[in-house]
Structure 1
Amino acid sequence: MTDPAQIDVIAPNFKKRLSGVTSTVIRLVPLQAREIAIATTGPELPADMPQIPLSALPLMSRSGPSGARVWHARRNIEMLAGLGLKYLLGKRLKLIFTSASQRHHTWLTKWLIRQMDAVIATSDKTASYLERQATVIRHGIDTETFCPVDDKAALRRDLGLPETGPIIGCYGRIRAQKGTDAFVDAMLCILPDHPGATAIVMGRATDKHQDFEQDLKNRVAAAGLSDRLLFLPEVPVWEMARWYQALDLYIAPQRWEGFGLTPLEAMACAVPVIATRVGAFEELIVDGGTGALIDAGDVDQMVAATDAVLRDPARLAAWSQAARQHVQDHFRIEQEAAAIIAIYRSLLKRG
């Protein structure tokens, strides 16, 4: 554990379950810790991360080594905690909130955002929903961890996947909002026409979505495709790169999304992406260059786009190469970390 007295920036992560926000914190904090005294706090974080126990927050010194500390929240509950530490417990804090949501906020969220010293938006669309000035900093990817693999067949063998034939992936929460059913419906059309192909749904259905998941599995079984459309359990963030590296094509079928990190993770591994026009996807994917964009919920478009690229290996190879280069040029995590650290330093200077 890290001594709070040595920390200038605290990036809380109060959610136990894996989420995009948790993934962001786990990726960014160790990298930022090379340049600034930062730690996270929250339940069930990787042991090797710089972190402060939740129980130490009320007892930590009023000021940090540079005066006021920065508290970087990414959820409402974390903004509330920052305000409590500042105004109820007298801690000297500068408050930042990162917003990824693309919707009109509740009165509570609007009020919380107004209390922040700085706001970051993860896309231009997100910024348009905020009723105050925000700095747009798009998410980045660790292109050393998320990278192409030299021997894809060996990796697939190690993961228990078919060594040959295209593999199409869809990762994340299993629910209607994420478009998992649209992906399954599209694959039920694609797989019979591409006998060597395999599709993967990887993720977890929370309790209220387990009937939804079971219905999808039943539909796949009824089509006789359970051995080719696989439902695999969620894996930890630090294991995800291997599952992207095994793919030939990734599909992001969301009906709604805040930002949506999975297309960047796939493209960094030289995997082209077919994605819906939601979240930040239109700002991430070059339509016809690193993949294709389709309308949310449109299974026919998903089928057509997938079929076209599977039948054109040269296009798939070109998209693969361009996808990797696109992420390296525009979406490296070092760029994201540096931009956020610049805001931290600006706030720390104000004391």
Structure 2
Amino acid sequence: MKAATKPLQRLGVTATGYPRNAWYALAASDEVKDVPFGTRALERPVVLFRVSDGSVVALADRDAHRPYPLSLGRVHGDTIVSGYSGFAYDRDGHCVRVPTQTQIPYGAQVPSYPVREHDGLVWVWLGEPSLADRRPPEPTPWLSDPAWTTFGGQWETAAHIELLLENFADITHVAVVDPVISPPALAAAVTPALEVQLTETTVSFRRDWPPAPMPAWQAEVTGASPTTPYPQREEGAFLSPGLWADRWDCHVPESDGGTQTFLFTHAITPVDAGTTRHIWRVSRNFAAGQAATEAMRPIFEGYYRRVQEILQTVQHVIDTDGYGDEVSVAADVAALQVRKIMRRLVADEGL
């Protein structure tokens, strides 16, 4: 009888967790209203809601009386009321009212979490509360700046957060995954080297591509020449475990409208070790009309959906056969640095 094949494993490759001491975008601002919004992040239930001054509150989504989600209750003024016990909780998670008695039971409270809201995203800190103010969430001003036109979407991907981050760090895959959306520059015979800058917790890079035409769909919506080669630059940044930002400049002469820039924002949150919520935004400084947005939306959504399918397949292979040996190339330099930082952050938390 043939022996069973043992899944391949290699120390240092296996993703073992994710940082908890980080800001994660649990929702888009327009999702959170004066009704409970239940979600999950970092393997725990969280409820978000707005109070009377318009600010967002984040509490553990579990009634202190019995294991019933607060998100199935209602918001009343500055409190959230359990739909089962009737216990009412304030923005700090303290029970302030019990329907059957005047005295509040000792210990009747639920965890509350620091919240920051800016540029259309609701960021929540689920780690050690005392560290939240020391590491404010990274600003993303282009998402609310009227000089930029932004669209996007969100969904959950059945893959570890590291797989998403490493995918963002290497756009050379784009030409293989989706030749239609890919800038023709990515088809260059030799990929220019990345210029990488590191800090203790961030990775940023840039790469100048040789002149090449812009994608046909981009030329069509802007009226630019579909055959003229333009110098192009790629920039990317791992800003925090929950935020990745990319920039692509196509240097069109001022006489033809000036540089056309895309900014890509990826806010990602681990739901658990095998699922990641992905809020993506595409911003541009050209072709501001709705017609251009509607022309671009299916192109980008289709690409991100294909990436989602690929990463879910990668996760399935890992879950089935384990991590094996990997062969990396020069284009992986940023991704490998991101991997190191993520694993060190996890190790530093003792998880």
TM-score, normalised by the number of residues in structure 2 = 0.29
Computing the radius of gyration from Cα coordinates, the structure with the larger value is: 2
TM-score, normalised by the number of residues in structure 1 = 0.29
The structure carrying a bigger helix percent of its residues is 1
The structure carrying a bigger strand percent of its residues is 2
Relative contact order (alpha carbons < 8 A, sep ≥ 6): 1 or 2 greater?
Answer: 2
